[in-house]
Amino acid sequence: MNTRFVEAFMWVARLGSFRAAAEKLHITQAAMSNRIASLEQEIGARVFEREARDLRLTPVGLRLLGYGERLLELQREIMVLGRSGHELLGLVRIGAIESVVHTWLVDFLRHLQSSYPGIEVQITSETTEGLHKTLRAGGIDIALQTDPAVGEGITSTPCLPMAIGWVGPPGAAQPDEGKLATLLQYPTITMSPGSQPHVALKELYRKAGLPVGKVHCVSSIAAIVRLVKAGFGNALMPLAPVREEVERGELRVICCDVPLPHQRLVVSHLDHAASEAIRLVADLACRESDRFVRSLPAPFAPE
CB 16 within 8 A of CB 55: yes
Cβ-based neighbour number of residue 77 at 10 Å: 10
CB 238 within 8 A of CB 218: no
CATH T-level assignment (fold) for domain 3-79: Arc Repressor Mutant, subunit A (1.10.10)
162-262 matches 85-159+263-294 in CATH topology: yes
Q: Where are the domains of the chain?
A: 3-79, 85-159+263-294, 162-262
pLDDT digits (tens, 9 = 90+) for 94-117: 999 999 999 999 999 998 988 888
pLDDT for res 94: 97
- The torsion of the CA quartet 58, 287, 251, 229, rounded to 10 degrees, works out to -150
Give yes or no for residue 47 having a pLDDT over 80: yes
| Reported pTM | 0.75
- CB burial readout 172-187, b (16+ within 10 A) else e: eeeeebeebeebbeee
Give yes or no for residue 131 having a pLDDT over 70: yes
Q: Which CATH architecture has domain 162-262?
A: 3-Layer(aba) Sandwich (3.40)
pLDDT band at 127 (very low <50, low <70, confident <90, very high): very high
pLDDT band at 4 (very low <50, low <70, confident <90, very high): confident
pLDDT digits (tens, 9 = 90+) for 177-230: 779 999 999 999 999 999 999 999 999 999 999 998 899 999 999 999 999 999
pLDDT for res 2: 81
Give just the sign of the alpha carbon dihedral 94, 266, 238, 203: positive
Q: Which CATH architecture has domain 85-159+263-294?
A: 3-Layer(aba) Sandwich (3.40)
pLDDT for res 83: 55
